A and B are shown apart, each in its own frame.
Chain A
Amino acid sequence: MTVADPRPRIASGPGGSGVVAGVRCQACAEPVAYAWPACPACGGPIAPAEFGPGGVVWSATVVRIPVAGRTPPYALAYVDLDDGPRVLAHVPGGAAPAVGTRVRLRADAPGGDPQVEVAP
């Protein structure tokens, strides 16, 4: 059974980094990480927009239980992209970055997952 991949689409950004190819509301300016047909905040019209590559870790954790198709432990972070939406991303290395850490989206999105690394 095939399902459409719902994850954010990662496009190439500056300096080998990645950006999220999403949309922005033309009525309320809400940034959205997904190519949805209307604004989730107000229902207004949207236009394509790119967010990142830079952002700040809002929170993070390490998942240590078995999850289908994944090998624990793996680190996840909610990242507030600069002037963009909060997106869920994997963090390589198995450790959770501290809240407030500056990170950068990678262009390669291994396995289709958004992935961030600590900003150089």
Chain B
Amino acid sequence: MNPAVHGVGTSHFGRRPGTDLVSLAWDAVSDALADAGGGPVDAVWVGTVFAPAGVAQRVLRAMGITGIPVVTVENACASGTTAFAEACEAVRTGRYGRVLALGIEQMSAAFDGAITPERTDPEGATGLALPALYAMAATRYLHDGAVTREQLAAVAVKNHAHALHNPQAQYAGRYTVEEVLASRMIADPLTLLQCCPTSDGAAAAVVAASSGGVREVGVRGIALRSGAPWGRRSPHVWGHDVVRDTAADAYAAAGLHAATDVDVAEVHDAFTIGEIVTTEALGLAAPGEGGKAAGTGVTTLGGTHPVNPSGGLLSRGHPLGATGLAQVAEIVRQLRGDAGGRQVDGARIGLVETMGGGVSALDGNACVVAVLEAP
């Protein structure tokens, strides 16, 4: 059975302390089910990272989704896309007919500011906050002449401007490169506007067999990997190889000949350097050319390879478990031609990539890459 996305839904993203997670989840699930034409689902996969135990059943019972298989998955920032990948696989193999994939996260209930480094992990216990991990990649890229500070900032300028057209984004704005570089330093060389905000939110997708419907977005290929050991064995910065290898799996599954066949992409830009490394790892930009692609408008709406038209994690927001399904929702809307002021004209092939990490010595905890196709 070829899986297709029949419906998507997203809550507004933002800091919503004191809001019941049930209401965030309801915003996403009710929209996704209505978009899919209503009706029951046979199983649910839920992606979340920091939510309390039992959260999936707690939110689903409040909307009458009970008595069916419910599975909660955690794969860091790729938790939502992991739930989506499992839903697609369940449909493809015929295990279930109609599956809900839901991502939920309330970061404001878990942390006062940035994510606390995990103290049971060697590098977390040594004080490696997540911005510092990405800062290490940025420092290395700058040293190697693979990016400039202005190109890093250009990613933030672009994604915050894209989000002006996304009413569900956490925040947006027309910033200049100078303003991005002048914002408060978080971990050298990454400044505040180059880091994703702390976010709450939910996103959902209904997956079922393709039946040729005019609003169904086909899942041409999807792949999931955990990172291999990373260190001096790799010539690349952290987070590159796992994306490259997962993308190769997804492209093969999709029968995609070249990454440049992709018309629109939503990729993991928790920090500006992440989008640059990722566009190179995905093959959307040549090695060492990701920064230039951002700086010259290639990856801007209207450019030849638009990346993160929703505003990305940087501007739409990054409620970890919800992020992957928000990316899926954006690509589905793009491929249906429903993306309004941020529509990529004539988009036929869309790509979703999420990468999550933090476990020492690995090149990321997990990566998911999906290739979706217009109805």
Q: Which residues of A contact B (CB under 8 A)?
A: 3-8, 30, 32-34, 40-41, 58-70, 74, 76, 78, 80, 85-86, 88-90, 96, 98-100, 112-114
A88 to B123, CA, bound (A): 7
Report the Cα distance A80→B128, complex, angstroms. 17
Which stretch from B59-67, B133-141, B261-269 is at the chain A interface?
Answer: B133-141
- B188:A30 contact, CB within 8 angstroms: no
What total of A-B pairs shows CB separation below 8 Å? 109
B232 x A60 contact (CB < 8 A)? no
**Interfacial chain A residues near B135, Cβ < 8 Å:** 61
Q: How far is the CB of B187 from the nearest CB of chain A, in Å?
A: 5
Question: Interface on B for A, CB 8 Å cutoff?
Answer: 113-114, 116-117, 119-129, 131-132, 135-137, 139-140, 143, 184-189, 228-229, 231-233, 237, 360-362
| With known contacts A59-B136, A60-B136, A68-B116, A30–B125 Cβ distance under 8 A | no
B126 touches A63 (CB 8 A): no
In the complex, chain B residues whose CB is within 8 Å of the CB of A7? 122, 125-126
B187: A residues at CB distance < 8 A? 61-65
Return chain A residues, CB-CB under 8 Å to B361: 32-34, 40, 85
Q: Decide if B131 touches A65 in the complex (CB within 8 Å).
A: yes
Q: Give the nearest-CB partner of B116 in chain A.
A: A68
Contact A70 B127 (CB under 8 A): yes
Question: Smallest Cβ distance from B298 to chain A, in angstroms?
Answer: 26
CA distance in complex: A67, B186 (Å): 11
A3 to B118, CA, bound (A): 11
Q: Is the CB of B122 within 8 A of A59?
A: no
Given A58-B140, A65-B113, A113 and B126 contact (CB-CB distance below 8 Å): yes
**Interchain residue pairs A-B with the least CB separation, the first 6:** A61-B135, A86-B231, A99-B143, A59-B140, A59-B136, A6-B122
- Tell me the smallest distance from the CB of A54 to a CB of chain B, in Å: 14
Inter-chain contacts of A86 with B (CB < 8 A): 231-232
Give complex CA distance A58, B133 in Å.
12
Q: A6-B120, A65-B131, A114-B126 are in contact. Are A80 and B140 (CB under 8 A)?
A: no
Given contacts A65-B113, A78-B136, contact A90 B122 (CB under 8 A): no
Q: CA of A58 to CA of B233 in the docked complex: distance in angstroms?
A: 12
B233 touches A41 (CB 8 A): yes
Give Cα A7–Cα B136 distance, bound, in whole angstroms.
19
Contact status B188-A96, CB under 8 Å: yes
Contact between A60 and B139 (Cβ–Cβ < 8 Å)? yes
